[in-house]
Amino acid sequence: MKQLVLRNTLYEKIYRSLGVVCLVMVIVLIITGDRNEWAFWIQVIALLLLGLAFLSLNFGTLVNRLTAEKGRLTIRWYTKPGQITVEIHEIDDILADENSVRIILKSGRIIRLPTAMLEFEEKRAVRKFLKETTGF
């Protein structure tokens, strides 16, 4: 199994800072709020869960991951909900430019992976990984 894991450092900093702000808001709410109200506890729980989601980078879904195993390419990209699994023999071509990598399937479907926010070395790593695993 070959795997490439990339983290977008800018998004990571933004999300982590939002998580810290939410947790600070929980502390301020606990200090200043009325603990006898039911709305107080709903706000505390909601902000605590939101802060944890931001700190964990949406429970790991904002981490880019390419995995090649047993003739299948599995893509988990921060702009795609869930993950996409493609048979490697179904790939017709792979095109790359400054802003994205496009995987063209034999069925005509195009899977676009935006790379504009990634560093140059990370863009190169994505292209190299796809070239090694697919042969394109």
Note whether residue 120 is domain-resident.
Answer: yes
Among the residues of the chain, which ranges form H helices?
Answer: 9-32, 38-55, 57-60, 120-134
Domain extent, residue 6, equals 2-60
Q: In the numeric block, which tokens belong to residue 51? A: 């802060």
- pLDDT for the residue 127: 93
CA 35 to chain centre: 37
Q: Rounded to whole angstroms, how far apart are CA atoms 123 and 116?
A: 8
List the pLDDT tens digit at each of the 136 positions of the chain.
Answer: 899 998 877 888 999 999 999 999 999 999 999 999 999 999 999 999 999 999 988 877 778 999 999 999 999 988 888 899 999 999 999 999 989 999 999 999 999 999 988 888 999 999 999 999 988 8
44 and 87 together in one domain: no
Note whether residue 73 is domain-resident.
Answer: no
Note whether residue 118 is domain-resident.
Answer: yes
54 and 23 together in one domain: yes
As for how many domains the chain has, the answer is 2
Q: How many CB atoms lie within 10 A of CB 101?
A: 20
B/e letters for 19-45, b = 16+ CB within 10 Å, e = fewer, are beebbebbeeeeeeeeeeeeeeeebbe
